[in-house]
C-alpha cells in the first residue's frame, strides 16, 4: 500500500518530461554545435528509446492518427516558414534571388518527375499515387534544414549557399502544393474521364499561388505598419514582445486558408514583407528568437514521436526496393537535379555541390503525404508511409552527420572562422546573385 503511494502520477511524469525536453531544447544545440551530430538525430534516438519501453503502450504511427499527423506537421512547418522569412537579410529582387528561382523552377519540377517515374516503376503503384509521393519528397524541408540556413537577422551569416537553401525551403513548400493537388485530382478522376486540367490550372495553380503571394504580402505590410510606422507613442515594437511573430504566422496562415490559397506560401511572404518594413530594427531578432524556440520545441516533440513510430512498425512494410529508392532519391535525384538547376550560375563548384546535396527531406514530406492520403482513397498507405519515413530517416542521418564538417569547410573556403563567436561575414559570390 505504501509502495503504491510512491508510484508517480502520470501528470507529474508529464511535467517532468516536459521540463527535461525544454532543457534539451535550450542546451543541446550548443553541445552539438561542433560535433558531427544533429539535434534531430538525438531526438529520434530518444523517441525510439522512450517508445521501446514496455511500459509505453502508445504506438504513434501516422496511419493510425492521420488527422493529428496532418495538423501537427502543418503547425511545425508554418512556424519554421515564419522563422525562415524573418532571418533573411537580402532584399528581394529577381536578380538577387536567382539561385532561389533556379532551385524552384528547375530542380524541384525535375525532382518531382524523376521520383514519380521511380516510385511508379519500382513500387508498381498508380501514377497518381507516385506523383503524390514525389510531390511530398521533392521540397527541401524548412524545419530540419536549420543547420544549413542563414543565421538570425542582421548577423551577416548569409553566404550564397545558406541563402539559397533558406529561400528555397521557404518557398518550395508552397510551390509543391499544386502537384499534391494534381495527384489528388488524377486519383479522383481515374477511369471516369472527367475533365480536370482547366480547374487544376486556374484554381490550384494560378489562383492559389497568386492569392497566396498577394495575401501574404498584404498581411506582412499591415503587420509591418502596425509594428513600426504608427505614431511614436504607440509603436508596437516598443513592447519588445517577440510573440508578435507568432501572431503574424497564425493570422497569415488562417486568413489565407479561409480564402482557399496556399497558406505555406503566404506565411513565408508575410515574414519576408514584415522584415522589409524596417530591416535594421532589433525587434526582428526578438520575433525570430521566439519563433525559433517554439519551432525547436515543436520539432523535438514531433521527432520524438517519429522515433516512436520507427520502433512501432513504421518501416514494417519496407523492402530492399524501398531502400534502393530512398537512396537513389537522396544520393542521385536531388544532387543531379540540383546541379542541372545551377548550370551557368556564377558560383564555385563546391558551393554548387553543397546546394545540390543538402536537399533535406523532413517534416514537410510527412505533412504532404498525410494531407494527400487524407484527401484521396488509397489502399496500402502503409507502404507509402514506409518509403517516405525511410527517406526522412536517411536524410536526417545522412545530412545530420555531414552538415557540420561540410559547412565548416565551406566557411573556411570563404574566409570565415567557423569557431569564432562573432564570425566575419563571408565575401560571398562574385556574380549577380551576390549583388542583390
Is it the case that residue 362 has pLDDT exceeding 50?
yes
pLDDT by residue (tens digit) across 67-99? Answer: 999 999 999 999 999 988 888 888 888 888 999
Alpha helices in 138-262 (DSSP H): 160-189, 197-199, 208-224, 243-258
Nine-digit cell string for 135: 510531390
Could you tell me the pLDDT band of residue 195, with boundaries at 50, 70 and 90?
Answer: confident
Could you tell me the pLDDT band of residue 239, with boundaries at 50, 70 and 90?
Answer: low
282 belongs to a structural domain: yes
101 belongs to a structural domain: yes
Is it the case that residue 232 has pLDDT exceeding 60?
no
Higher pLDDT, 405 or 255: 255
For the residues 118-135, what does the mean pLDDT come to? 95
Answer whether 172's CB lies under 8 Å from 263's CB: no
Query: What's 145's domain CATH number?
Result: 1.20.1530.20
Q: Domain count of the chain?
A: 1
For the residues 328-338, what does the mean pLDDT come to? 96
Answer whether 242's CB lies under 8 Å from 152's CB: no
H-run or E-run covering 403: helix 381-413
DSSP string spanning 70-93?
Answer: HHHHHHHHHHHHHHHHHT--SPP-
For the residues 41-52, what does the mean pLDDT come to? 88
Is it the case that residue 415 has pLDDT exceeding 70?
no
Answer whether 120's CB lies under 8 Å from 133's CB: no
Answer whether 62's CB lies under 8 Å from 249's CB: no
46 belongs to a structural domain: no
- How high is the pLDDT of residue 23? 80
100 belongs to a structural domain: yes
59 belongs to a structural domain: no
DSSP 414: T
pLDDT by residue (tens digit) across 16-30? Answer: 777 877 787 777 766
70 belongs to a structural domain: yes
Distances (CA, A) of 409 to 161, 209, 429: 13, 38, 16
Tell me the backbone φ, ψ of residue 54, rounded to 5 degrees: -65, -25
- How high is the pLDDT of residue 113? 97
Packing angle of the helix pair 381-413, 108-123 (nearest 10 deg): 140
Answer whether 135's CB lies under 8 Å from 115's CB: no
Nearest to 103 by CA among 354, 276, 304, 291: 354
- How high is the pLDDT of residue 87? 86
Quick one: how many helices (H) and strands (E) in the chain?
18, 0
381 belongs to a structural domain: yes
Nine-digit cell string for 281: 530594427
Is it the case that residue 430 has pLDDT exceeding 60?
no
**In sequence order, what are the residues at sequence separation of 6 or more whose Cβ sits closer than 8 angstroms to the Cβ of residue 284?**
86, 153, 154, 275, 278
Cα–Cα distance measured from residue 358 to residue 88, given in angstroms and rounded to the nearest whole number: 18
Nearest to 126 by CA among 377, 389, 392: 377
Nearest to 171 by CA among 203, 145, 201: 145
- How high is the pLDDT of residue 1? 45
Packing angle of the helix pair 108-123, 334-341 (nearest 10 deg): 150
Nine-digit cell string for 146: 536549420
Higher pLDDT, 222 or 27: 222
Could you tell me the pLDDT band of residue 352, with boundaries at 50, 70 and 90?
Answer: very high
- How high is the pLDDT of residue 426? 37
- How high is the pLDDT of residue 306? 96
Answer whether 249's CB lies under 8 Å from 301's CB: no
430 belongs to a structural domain: no
- How high is the pLDDT of residue 234? 52
For the residues 183-211, what does the mean pLDDT come to? 87
Answer whether 378's CB lies under 8 Å from 129's CB: yes
> What's the angle, vertex CA 206, arms to CA 201 and CA 210, rounded to 5?
165
Could you tell me the pLDDT band of residue 36, with boundaries at 50, 70 and 90?
Answer: low
Answer whether 66's CB lies under 8 Å from 374's CB: yes
Could you tell me the pLDDT band of residue 434, with boundaries at 50, 70 and 90?
Answer: very low
Is it the case that residue 154 has pLDDT exceeding 70?
no
Place of cell 525535375: 110
Question: Which string of b and e fits 74-86 if b means at least 16 CB within 10 Å?
Answer: bbbbbbbbbbbbb
Alpha helices in 62-207 (DSSP H): 66-86, 98-102, 108-123, 127-137, 160-189, 197-199
Higher pLDDT, 5 or 166: 166
- How high is the pLDDT of residue 95? 87
For the residues 176-184, what does the mean pLDDT come to? 94
Question: In which domain, by residue range, is 221 found?
Answer: 64-415
- How high is the pLDDT of residue 249? 92
Could you tell me the pLDDT band of residue 268, with boundaries at 50, 70 and 90?
Answer: very high
Amino acid at each position: 500500500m505504501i509502495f503504491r503511494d510512491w508510484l508517480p502520477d502520470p501528470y507529474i511524469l508529464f511535467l517532468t518530461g516536459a521540463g527535461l525536453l525544454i532543457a534539451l531544447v535550450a542546451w543541446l544545440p550548443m553541445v552539438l554545435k561542433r560535433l558531427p551530430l544533429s539535434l534531430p538525430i538525438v531526438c529520434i534516438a530518444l523517441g525510439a528509446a522512450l517508445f521501446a519501453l514496455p511500459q509505453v503502450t502508445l504506438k504513434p504511427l501516422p496511419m493510425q492518427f492521420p488527422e493529428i499527423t496532418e495538423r501537427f506537421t502543418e503547425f511545425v512547418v508554418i512556424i519554421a516558414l515564419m522563422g525562415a522569412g524573418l532571418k533573411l537579410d537580402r532584399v528581394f529582387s529577381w536578380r538577387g534571388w536567382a539561385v532561389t528561382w533556379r532551385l524552384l523552377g528547375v530542380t524541384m519540377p525535375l525532382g518531382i518527375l524523376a521520383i514519380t517515374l521511380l516510385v511508379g516503376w519500382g513500387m508498381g503503384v498508380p501514377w497518381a499515387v507516385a506523383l503524390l509521393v514525389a510531390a511530398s519528397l521533392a521540397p527541401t524541408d524548412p524545419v530540419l534544414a536549420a543547420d544549413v540556413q542563414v543565421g538570425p537577422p542582421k548577423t551577416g551569416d548569409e553566404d550564397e549557399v545558406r541563402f539559397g537553401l533558406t529561400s528555397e525551403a521557404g518557398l518550395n513548400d508552397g510551390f509543391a502544393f499544386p502537384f499534391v493537388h494534381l495527384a489528388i485530382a488524377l486519383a479522383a478522376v481515374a477511369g471516369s474521364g472527367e475533365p480536370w486540367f482547366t480547374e487544376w490550372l486556374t484554381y490550384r495553380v494560378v489562383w492559389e499561388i497568386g492569392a497566396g503571394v498577394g495575401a501574404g504580402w498584404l498581411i506582412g505590410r499591415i503587420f509591418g505598419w502596425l509594428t513600426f510606422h504608427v505614431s511614436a507613442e504607440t509603436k508596437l515594437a516598443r513592447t519588445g514582445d517577440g510573440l508578435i511573430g507568432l501572431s503574424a504566422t497564425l493570422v497569415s496562415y488562417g486568413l489565407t486558408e479561409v480564402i482557399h490559397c496556399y497558406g505555406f506560401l503566404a506565411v513565408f511572404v508575410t515574414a519576408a514583407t514584415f522584415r522589409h518594413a524596417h530591416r535594421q530594427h532589433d525587434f526582428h531578432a526578438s520575433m525570430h528568437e521566439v519563433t525559433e524556440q517554439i519551432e525547436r520545441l515543436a520539432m523535438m516533440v514531433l521527432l520524438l514521436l517519429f522515433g516512436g513510430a520507427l520502433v512501432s512498425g513504421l518501416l514494417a512494410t519496407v523492402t530492399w526496393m524501398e531502400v534502393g529508392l530512398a537512396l537513389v532519391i537522396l544520393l542521385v535525384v536531388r544532387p543531379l537535379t540540383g546541379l542541372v538547376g545551377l548550370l551557368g550560375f556564377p558560383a564555385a563548384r563546391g558551393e554548387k555541390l553543397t546546394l545540390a546535396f543538402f536537399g533535406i527531406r523532413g517534416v514537410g514530406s510527412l505533412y504532404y503525404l498525410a494531407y494527400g492520403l487524407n484527401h484521396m482513397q488509397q489502399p496500402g498507405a502503409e507502404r507509402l508511409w514506409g518509403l517516405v519515413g525511410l527517406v526522412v530517416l536517411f536524410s536526417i542521418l545522412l545530412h545530420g552527420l555531414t552538415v557540420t564538417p561540410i559547412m565548416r569547410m565551406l566557411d573556411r573556403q570563404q574566409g570565415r572562422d567557423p569557431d569564432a563567436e562573432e564570425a566575419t561575414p563571408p565575401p560571398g559570390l562574385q556574380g549577380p546573385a551576390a549583388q542583390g
